[in-house]
C-alpha cells in the first residue's frame, strides 16, 4: 500500500468541497487562465482522486498543484469553508515525500536557506554580480529564487551593503533608561535581513523608544515560508525547532514581515508530527505578532498618536493588503486605522486592496508571466486611487509591487508602514 | 478515444495551448456542481470565436463525435458533464462584453462572460441583468441561457428567458445562425429563440447573446418574518402577493437550515422558529417604504410571530448571507445530498411542504427545505449516503414521493436547474408524451447525428 500520510492529514479538508465552483471568481490564477486545473475546485478534485489511488503524482499533477499563489482568496470566500490552502500544501508535502524536491529547490532549501551562514555567503556572491542587472530601488525576497529566477527581464532589486545581522546587537534596552515594559524578540526574516536592514533598525528604534526591550537572537533562522509551503515539511520542522529555541525567553516575537509572522504562527497548522510538537508550536503561535498588530493590539498605541515623518507630509497613500496579513492573520483594520489617523497624510482605499499582488514567493519565479498579469490588475487599482505612495507591511509584496510599478512606468513609490512613522 | 489526427485538427483551429488532452485536465472536466455525475471527455477545446466553433462543429459532425458545451461548470443537473466522452467545448475564454447599449437597455455578450463580472460592469452604468441564479460567481451567460436559469429575483423579475432578445447560434452541422434580434417585441415567424433557451446544450452552441437590462432600483429593504409553523410561512407568500405587493424576492429557510447556518456563522437567526421568510422590496424609496409597511402588516396578520425590518444595509446583508449559506449548510452535512428543484403553483406551497414532511417521516429520512418561496420553486433536500444502501433507498423513495406530489399539485419537476442527467429518470413520467415526442423530433431535425450533448434530458 502506498504511503499517503501527508494526504490523509488533509483528507477532511478536501472532503469539504461541494464543487460549486464559486472559487473561480476569486482565484487570481483562474482569472488569467480560465481553465479548471487552475482553480481550487479542480485541484481539490485531483487531490481527492489521489487519495483514492486514482491519480498519480505525475509531473503534470506537480505543475497543477504548484500553480497556486496560496493567496487564500478562494478559501476566504468558500461557501462550504474548504481550506484549500491546507489541501494544496498537504499535496505538495506528499509529493516531496514521494519524489523528493527538485534539484534547484533541494539545493536551495536544504543546503542554502536553512543554513544562515551559507545563505549569507551565496547572497554576497550574488551581490557581486549585481552590476549585470538593471539597478532599481527595490529588493528581492528569497535567495534561491534570486539565483534561479535571474533574468525574465524583471527589475532585480539590490542587496543591502551590510546585512542586518552584521549590524544588530543581541539586546537593545529601552532608550529612556527605565525598566522595560516587556521583552520582545525581533524576528528579522530573510528580506529584512538581506534587503531591507533599515526596516529592522526602524522597528527596533520604534519599540525601544517606547519602553520595550528588544532582543535579537543570533540563532534565529529563516521562517520557512518558501520551504514548507513548497511541501518540504522536514526542513520546515527543523527551522521551526531552531526558531522556537531561539525565542524561548521573550514575551512576544515581532517581525516587520507579514509572510514571516504568518508563517511562524502557522507552524502549528502544517508541521506538527506528534502531540508534543503540536503543543509547542501552538504555544509559539501565541507569542508571534506582526508589527501592524503589535503596535495597535499589544502596545495599544492610539492611532492618532502616530507621527508622520516630514518627507511624507501632503502625500496621498493607499494600502495594499498582503495575503499573509488579511487572510492568514485577519489583520486589516490596524494598518488602516494608523494610515487614516496620520496627520498630514491623505488616505484613499484601493478598489482591489485585498487582491494578491501576484508574488506568491517562488510562484513568481516559476510563473513570472502570470505574476506580471496578476500584478497589472493590482497596478490598475493603485492608479485608480491617484495615490502618491503605496503602503504595505510585507517585504515580499514590496519587491513585487516595486518591480511592477516600474514595469508599468508608474510614479508611485512603495513603503512599509514603519517607514512612514516617527 | 479520439483519433490523434482529430486532436491536431482542433489544435490547428484554436491553437495548441487551447486543446487539453492530459489525463489530469480530462479529469478536471469530468464533473459539474453535482455530486455523482462523473465522466471524462477525450479532449477539452477552448475556442475564441464563433468561426472557430463553427469549424470544430463541422469536424465533430462529420466524425460523429459527441460535443458537450461547458462554461463555468457550476450547473447542478449534470448538464455539462460529457456523458459519452468526446469533446468538451469550453467557452470560458470567450468572455468579452461586446457592447452595453444604455439607450436601449441592452448588452451584447459572449457566452463565457461570468454573470457577476457582467453585473459589476453594468453597475457602473446603473444597470443590471435581473435573472440571478445563485451560482452567479461562476456561472457563464451561455450556460445560464442554455439552462434558462432563475433565482430569488424571479418573483418580480422573472427568469432568464424574459431577458434574452437574440442569440447567435452555431448549429451541430457548423452553420452559424441568428434568432430573435435586438427589439423587445418580435413576432416574425416561429419563436426559435425560445427553443434554444433551456435546450441544455442539446441543440447547438450559443456564441453571442443580446440581453435585456433593467436600471438598478434606487432603494431596497429587507424584512424577515419568523413563523412557528412552516405552513403559515407558505401561506404568507401568496397573501402578500394577493394584497398587491410584489417584492423583489421571497425566500424560505426551514428550522433545520436556520440551525445549520447558526452553527456555521452565528448571526442571531431565531433558532426555534419553524421557518423564516426573507423579503426584499426594491424600487423607488417611497414605494419601498410603503411596500415594507404592507408586508409587515400582512405577515403579522397571517401568523408571523415576529417580523424584523433590517435597519441598515449591514443587517440586510446578514440575512441574505444566511440565505446564500443555505446550500453550503446542507451539502456539508451529508455525503450524498439529493436536492430537488420542484416548483409548484404558489397557492399550493403549504400543502406541498406538509406532504414533504410527511414523506420524510414515512421513510425516516432527514430532510430540509429552503428555496424561492415567492415563485413556488422549493428545494427540499434529503440527507443521505450513497454508501448506506438502506438509507439511500429510503431517500430515493422519499424523493420519488416529492416529485409525484409536485406534479399532483400542478407543478413541475425542475424550476431552474434543468433535467440534464440528475432528473432524467423522472422526465417521461412527468411530461406529456406528445410534448416529449415533438421535442425528440426537433432534436433529430437539428442534430441528426446526435452529437450535441448526447445522453441528456431523456435516456
Using one digit for the tens of pLDDT, what is the confidence trace for A214-258? 999 999 999 999 888 989 899 899 999 999 999 999 999 999 999
DSSP, collapsed to helix, strand or coil, labels residue B336 as strand
Q: Does residue A114 have a pLDDT over 90?
A: no
- Domain assignment present for A90: yes
- Name the residue of chain A whose CA is nearest to B325's CA: A79
Of B92, B135, B327, the CB nearest to A34: B92
Among A65, A99, A133, identify where a domain stops.
Answer: A99
**Residues of B with Cβ-Cβ distance to A18 under 8 angstroms:** 33, 35, 327-328, 331-332
Contact A64 B24 (CB under 8 A): yes
- Domain assignment present for A123: no
Q: Does residue A104 have a pLDDT over 90?
A: no
- Using CA atoms, how far apart are residues A343 and A23, in angstroms rounded to an integer? 40
Q: Does residue A128 have a pLDDT over 60?
A: no
Q: Does residue A364 have a pLDDT over 90?
A: no
- Using CA atoms, how far apart are residues A207 and A171, in angstroms rounded to an integer? 12
Among A99, A131, A166, identify where a domain stops.
Answer: A99
- Domain assignment present for A353: yes
Contact A16 B28 (CB under 8 A): no
Contact B24 A46 (CB under 8 A): yes
pLDDT at A247: 96
Helix (H) or strand (E) holding A413: strand A413-416
The model's pLDDT over B166-185, given as tens digits with 9 standing for 90+, comes to 999 999 999 999 999 999 99
Better-predicted residue by pLDDT, A379 or A142: A379
* Closest-CA distance of chain A to residue B25, Å: 6
Half-sphere exposure of A11 (CA within 13 A, CB side): 11
Contact B33 A19 (CB under 8 A): yes
What ranges make up the beta strands (E) of B81-212? 87-90, 97-101, 106-109, 127-128, 164-170, 176-180, 205-212
CA A82 vs CA A15, A74, B7, B96: distances in Å: 8, 9, 36, 30
pLDDT at A121: 58
pLDDT at A133: 38
Of B92, B324, B328, the CB nearest to A18: B328
Contact A22 B138 (CB under 8 A): yes
B145, B209 contact by CB (below 8 A) = yes
Contact A21 B112 (CB under 8 A): no
pLDDT at A134: 36
Q: Which domains does chain B have, with CATH numbers?
A: 4-90 (3.30.43.10), 97-215 (3.30.465.10), 217-331 (3.30.70.2190), 334-418 (3.30.70.2740)
Percent of chain A with pLDDT over 70: 86
* Closest-CA distance of chain B to residue A88, Å: 16
Q: At what angle do helices A5-14 and A84-99 cross, to 10 degrees?
A: 160
Identify the residue among A12, A16, A22 best suited for mutation to test binding to B, counting B beta carbons within 10 A and taking the highest.
Answer: A22
- Domain assignment present for A272: no
Residues A16, A22, A26, A32: is their CA dihedral positive or negative?
positive
* Closest-CA distance of chain B to residue A32, Å: 10
Of B44, B74, B264, the CB nearest to A21: B74
- Domain assignment present for A271: no
A348, A318 contact by CB (below 8 A) = yes
A360, A69 contact by CB (below 8 A) = yes
- Using CA atoms, how far apart are residues A14 and A23, in angstroms rounded to an integer? 14
How many cross-chain Cβ pairs, A to B, lie less than 8 Å apart? 85
Domain CATH code at residue A84? 1.10.1060.10
* Closest-CA distance of chain B to residue A78, Å: 9
- Quickly state the pLDDT bin for A150 (edges 50, 70, 90): very low
pLDDT at A105: 61
Helix (H) or strand (E) holding A213: strand A212-215
- Name the residue of chain A whose CA is nearest to B321's CA: A79
CA A232 vs CA A20, A238, B205: distances in Å: 31, 10, 46
Lowest-pLDDT range of A34-38, A114-118, A148-152: A148-152
The model's pLDDT over A37-84, given as tens digits with 9 standing for 90+, comes to 999 999 999 999 999 999 999 889 999 999 999 999 999 999 888 999
Neighbours of B301 (CB within 10 A): 11
Q: Does residue B134 have a pLDDT over 60?
A: yes
- Domain assignment present for A171: no
Q: How large is the average pLDDT for residues A187-206?
A: 92
Could you identify the residue written with the cell 433557451? B197
Query: What residue numbers bound the domain in which A59 lies?
Result: 5-99
Among A69, A99, A129, identify where a domain stops.
Answer: A99
Output the nine-digit C-alpha cell for A401: 509591487
H-type helices in B124-254, by residue range?
141-146, 154-157, 193-196, 230-242
- Domain assignment present for A76: yes
Lowest-pLDDT range of A79-88, B160-169, B318-327, B367-376: B318-327
Q: How large is the average pLDDT for residues A203-209?
A: 96
- Using CA atoms, how far apart are residues A393 and A396, in angstroms rounded to an integer? 9
Give the total number of structural domains in chain A: 2
Backbone angles phi, psi at A105, to 5 degrees: -65, -40
- Using CA atoms, how far apart are residues B396 and B393, in angstroms rounded to an integer? 5
**Residues of A with Cβ-Cβ distance to B72 under 8 angstroms:** 21, 24
Could you identify the residue written with the cell 556572491? A125
Contact B46 A34 (CB under 8 A): yes
- Name the residue of chain A whose CA is nearest to B337's CA: A18
Domain CATH code at residue A335? 3.40.50.1860
The model's pLDDT over B54-82, given as tens digits with 9 standing for 90+, comes to 999 999 999 999 999 999 999 999 999 99
Q: Does residue B395 have a pLDDT over 70?
A: yes
Output the nine-digit C-alpha cell for A257: 514581515
Of A25, A36, A64, the CB nearest to B114: A25
Output the nine-digit C-alpha cell for A96: 516531496
* Closest-CA distance of chain A to residue B140, Å: 11
Q: What is the mean pLDDT of chain A?
A: 88
Better-predicted residue by pLDDT, B321 or B13: B13
Identify the residue among A35, A58, A78 best suited for mutation to test binding to B, counting B beta carbons within 10 A and taking the highest.
Answer: A35
Contact A22 B73 (CB under 8 A): no
Amino acid at each position: 500500500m502506498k504511503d499517503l500520510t501527508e494526504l490523509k492529514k488533509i483528507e477532511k479538508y478536501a472532503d469539504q468541497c461541494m464543487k460549486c465552483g464559486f472559487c473561480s471568481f476569486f482565484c487570481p490564477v483562474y482569472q488569467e487562465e480560465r481553465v479548471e486545473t487552475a482553480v481550487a475546485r479542480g485541484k481539490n478534485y485531483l487531490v481527492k482522486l489521489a487519495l483514492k489511488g486514482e491519480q498519480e503524482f505525475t509531473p503534470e499533477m506537480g505543475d497543477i498543484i504548484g500553480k497556486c499563489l496560496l493567496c487564500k482568496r478562494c478559501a476566504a470566500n468558500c461557501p462550504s469553508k474548504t481550506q484549500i490552502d491546507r489541501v494544496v500544501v498537504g499535496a505538495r508535502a506528499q509529493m516531496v515525500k514521494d519524489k523528493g524536491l527538485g534539484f534547484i529547490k533541494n539545493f536551495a532549501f536544504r543546503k542554502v536557506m536553512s543554513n544562515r551562514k551559507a545563505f549569507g555567503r551565496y547572497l554576497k556572491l550574488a551581490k557581486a554580480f549585481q552590476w549585470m542587472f538593471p539597478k532599481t530601488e527595490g529588493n528581492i525576497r528569497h535567495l534561491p529564487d534570486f539565483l534561479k529566477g535571474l533574468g525574465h527581464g524583471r527589475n532585480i532589486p539590490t542587496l543591502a551593503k551590510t546585512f542586518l545581522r552584521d549590524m544588530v546587537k543581541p539586546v537593545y534596552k529601552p532608550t529612556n533608561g527605565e525598566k522595560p515594559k516587556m521583552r520582545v524578540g525581533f524576528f528579522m526574516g530573510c528580506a529584512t535581513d538581506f534587503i531591507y536592514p533599515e526596516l529592522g533598525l526602524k522597528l527596533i528604534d520604534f519599540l525601544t523608544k517606547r519602553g520595550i526591550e528588544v532582543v535579537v537572537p543570533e540563532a534565529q533562522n529563516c521562517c520557512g515560508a518558501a520551504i514548507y509551503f513548497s511541501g518540504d515539511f522536514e526542513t520546515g520542522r527543523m527551522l521551526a525547532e531552531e526558531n522556537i529555541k531561539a525565542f524561548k525567553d521573550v514575551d512576544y516575537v515581532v517581525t516587520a514581515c507579514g509572510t514571516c509572522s504568518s508563517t511562524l504562527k502557522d507552524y502549528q497548522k502544517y508541521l506538527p508530527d506528534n502531540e508534543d510538537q503540536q503543543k509547542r508550536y501552538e504555544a509559539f503561535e501565541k507569542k508571534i505578532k506582526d508589527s501592524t498588530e503589535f503596535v495597535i493590539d499589544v502596545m495599544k498605541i492610539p492611532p492618532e498618536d502616530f507621527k508622520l515623518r516630514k518627507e511624507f507630509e501632503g502625500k496621498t497613500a493607499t494600502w495594499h493588503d498582503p495575503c499573509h496579513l488579511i487572510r492568514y492573520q485577519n489583520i486589516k483594520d490596524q494598518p488602516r486605522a494608523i494610515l487614516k489617523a496620520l496627520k498630514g497624510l491623505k488616505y484613499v482605499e484601493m478598489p482591489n486592496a485585498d487582491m494578491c499582488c501576484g508574488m506568491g514567493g517562488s510562484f513568481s519565479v516559476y510563473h513570472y508571466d502570470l505574476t506580471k498579469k496578476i500584478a497589472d490588475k493590482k497596478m490598475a487599482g493603485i492608479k485608480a486611487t491617484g495615490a502618491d505612495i503605496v503602503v504595505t507591511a510585507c517585504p515580499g509584496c514590496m519587491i513585487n509591487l516595486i518591480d511592477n510599478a516600474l514595469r508599468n512606468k508608474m510614479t508611485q513609490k512603495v513603503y512599509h508602514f514603519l517607514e512612514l512613522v516617527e | 478515444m479520439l483519433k490523434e489526427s482529430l486532436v491536431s485538427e482542433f489544435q490547428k483551429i484554436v491553437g495548441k495551448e487551447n486543446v487539453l488532452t492530459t489525463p489530469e485536465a480530462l479529469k478536471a472536466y469530468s464533473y459539474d456542481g453535482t455530486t455523482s455525475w462523473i465522466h471524462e471527455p477525450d479532449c477539452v477545446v477552448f475556442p475564441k470565436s464563433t468561426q472557430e466553433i463553427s469549424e470544430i462543429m463541422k469536424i465533430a459532425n462529420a466524425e460523429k463525435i459527441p460535443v458537450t458545451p461547458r462554461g463555468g461548470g457550476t450547473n447542478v443537473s449534470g448538464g455539462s458533464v460529457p456523458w459519452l466522452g468526446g469533446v468538451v467545448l469550453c467557452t470560458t475564454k470567450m468572455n468579452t462584453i461586446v457592447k452595453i447599449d444604455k439607450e436601449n437597455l441592452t448588452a451584447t455578450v459572449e457566452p463565457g462572460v461570468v454573470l457577476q463580472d457582467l453585473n459589476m460592469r453594468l453597475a457602473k452604468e446603473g444597470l443590471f441583468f435581473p435573472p440571478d441564479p445563485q451560482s452567479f460567481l461562476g456561472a457563464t451567460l451561455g450556460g445560464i441561457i442554455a439552462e434558462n436559469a432563475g433565482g430569488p429575483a424571479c418573483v418580480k423579475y422573472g427568469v432568464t428567458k424574459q431577458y434574452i432578445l437574440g442569440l447567435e447560434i452555431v448549429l451541430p452541422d457548423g452553420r452559424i445562425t441568428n434568432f430573435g434580434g435586438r427589439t423587445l417585441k418580435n413576432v416574425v415567424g416561429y419563436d426559435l429563440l425560445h427553443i434554444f433557451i433551456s435546450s441544455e446544450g442539446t441543440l447547438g452552441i450559443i456564441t453571442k447573446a443580446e440581453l435585456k437590462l433593467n436600471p438598478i432600483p434606487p432603494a431596497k429593504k429587507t424584512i424577515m418574518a419568523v413563523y412557528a409553523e412552516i405552513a403559515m410561512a407558505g401561506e404568507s407568500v401568496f397573501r402578500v402577493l394577493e394584497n398587491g405587493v410584489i417584492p423583489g424576492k421571497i425566500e424560505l429557510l426551514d428550522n433545520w437550515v436556520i440551525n445549520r447556518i447558526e452553527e456555521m456563522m452565528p448571526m442571531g437567526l431565531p433558532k426555534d422558529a419553524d421557518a423564516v421568510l426573507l423579503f426584499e422590496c426594491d424600487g423607488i424609496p417611497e414605494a419601498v417604504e410603503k411596500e415594507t409597511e404592507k408586508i409587515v402588516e400582512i405577515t403579522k396578520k397571517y401568523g408571523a410571530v415576529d417580523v424584523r425590518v433590517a435597519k441598515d444595509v449591514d443587517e440586510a446583508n446578514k440575512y441574505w448571507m444566511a440565505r446564500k449559506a443555505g446550500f453550503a449548510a446542507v451539502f456539508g452535512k451529508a455525503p450524498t445530498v439529493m436536492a430537488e428543484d420542484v416548483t409548484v403553483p404558489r397557492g399550493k406551497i403549504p400543502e406541498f411542504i406538509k406532504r414533504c414532511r410527511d414523506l420524510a417521516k414515512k421513510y425516516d429520512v432527514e430532510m430540509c427545505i429552503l428555496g424561492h418561496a415567492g415563485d413556488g420553486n422549493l428545494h427540499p433536500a434529503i440527507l443521505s449516503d450513497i454508501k448506506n444502501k438502506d438509507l439511500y433507498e429510503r431517500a430515493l423513495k422519499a424523493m420519488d414521493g416529492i416529485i409525484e406530489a409536485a406534479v399532483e399539485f400542478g407543478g413541475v419537476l425542475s424550476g431552474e436547474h434543468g433535467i440534464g442527467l440528475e432528473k432524467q429518470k423522472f422526465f417521461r413520467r412527468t411530461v406529456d408524451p406528445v410534448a416529449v415526442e415533438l421535442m425528440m423530433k426537433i432534436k433529430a431535425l437539428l442534430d441528426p447525428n446526435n452529437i450535441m450533448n448526447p445522453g441528456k434530458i431523456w435516456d
